[in-house]
Amino acid sequence: MSGYVLTWRDPQASAPSDGAVLLPELAQLDKQSLLAMPLTVGRDVVPLGERFDVEGEPGDTLTLRRLPPLDRLGEAMTWGILIIDGPAGDDLGASMRGGLIRVRGNAGARVGGPSAGRHHGMTDGEIVIEGDAGEQCGLNMRRGMIVVTGNTGAYPGHRMAAGTIVVVGAEAPSCQYGAGLEMRRGTIVFLGATPMVAHPSLAVQGEYAAAAVPILSLLLRRVAALEVNVTHPPRWRLSSGDMMELGKGEIWQAI
């Protein structure tokens, strides 16, 4: 895993205006070009090297350090690895199409949701949040995977069309409130102990031994491959929905 580490020099200064420009594609530039890249900060346009310390060499990974929580980080990302060493703002990975985003902190609302003016959220790629995520995690998601090691805010998987959300912590009641509202397809997995507050248009399908549902083992093994500690619960409860929509979505809760 090679690439650049960009460290924001002055945490007290205004942050970059557009988090969406900080994509792994920058890691492919030579160092001089990267340092000279124009960066909008407030009303100013400055060379990136003026506000960031840059270490490393060209590769496929861009690591961001000491930034305040920026919105739209990883927006429309198609490739590579974006590591955010700290919190991320709202709309992380909006309309993402590939690659991996890892946040070593919390993230805001609408992780993997749609970019402004678009209908679909992320369509591919993987997002790992080593902390909590805000409301509407996976809004309008259409494939790809989001892993949250802590909790999410309310309405995870809102209007989800496909893809997978795994909430490892899931101890806070908020994260299971309104889960899968208006969901069409896709999978939400809650590994924590908090019972779900199911909205009325979910149908409870019963309890299953883990060995009878191999797809969950595949998903949890993928989560482990993303360097997230997971246990494999022996039993699960399945709810399907949203029955007011297509009804092919599924919510699995560890028992």
Partner 1 sequence: MDIQGTIIEDEFAEAFRMWAARLIVTAMNPHWLRIAAQESCGYGTSVIGCDAEAGVERWLGGEHTPDGRPGAALLWFAFNAKALAKAVPNRVGQCLMTCPTTAVYDGLPEAKDSDDARLPLGNMIRFFGDGHQKSKVIADRRYWRIPVMDGEFLAEESIGAVKAIGGGNFLICAVDHEAGLAAAQRAVEVIGPLPGVITPFPGGVVRSGSKVGSRYNKLFASTNDEYCPMLRGRNHTKLREGVTCVYEIVINGLNAPAIAEAMNHGIRAACGPGVVAISAGNYGGTLGKFHFRLREVLK
Minimum CB separation from partner 1 for residue 150, in Å? 22
Cα–Cα distance, 183 to 155 (Å, whole number) = 10
**Cβ atoms of residues 133 and 149 within 8 Å:** no
The first and second tokens of residue 25, run together, are 């594609």
The first and second tokens of residue 177, run together, are 């409130």
Q: Find the binding residues for partner 1 in span 219-248 (CB under 8 A).
A: 219, 221-222, 225, 232, 248
If the CB atoms of residues 72 and 184 are measured against partner 1, the closer one turns out to be 184
Minimum CB separation from partner 1 for residue 228, in Å? 14
State yes or no: residue 211 binds partner 1 (CB under 8 A): yes
If the CB atoms of residues 66 and 222 are measured against partner 1, the closer one turns out to be 222
State yes or no: residue 164 binds partner 1 (CB under 8 A): yes
CB atoms within 10 A of CB 94: 27
If the CB atoms of residues 88 and 148 are measured against partner 1, the closer one turns out to be 148
**Cβ atoms of residues 184 and 159 within 8 Å:** yes
If the CB atoms of residues 200 and 214 are measured against partner 1, the closer one turns out to be 214
User: CA dihedral defined by 113, 116, 96, 103, rounded to 10 degrees?
Assistant: -60
Minimum CB separation from partner 1 for residue 217, in Å? 4
**Cβ atoms of residues 54 and 73 within 8 Å:** no
Minimum CB separation from partner 1 for residue 249, in Å? 9
Cα–Cα distance, 255 to 235 (Å, whole number) = 5
Which residue in the set 59, 85, 208, 233 belongs to the binding site for partner 1 (CB under 8 A)?
Answer: 208
- From 35-43, 54-62, 63-71, 218-226, span contacting partner 1 (CB under 8 A): 218-226
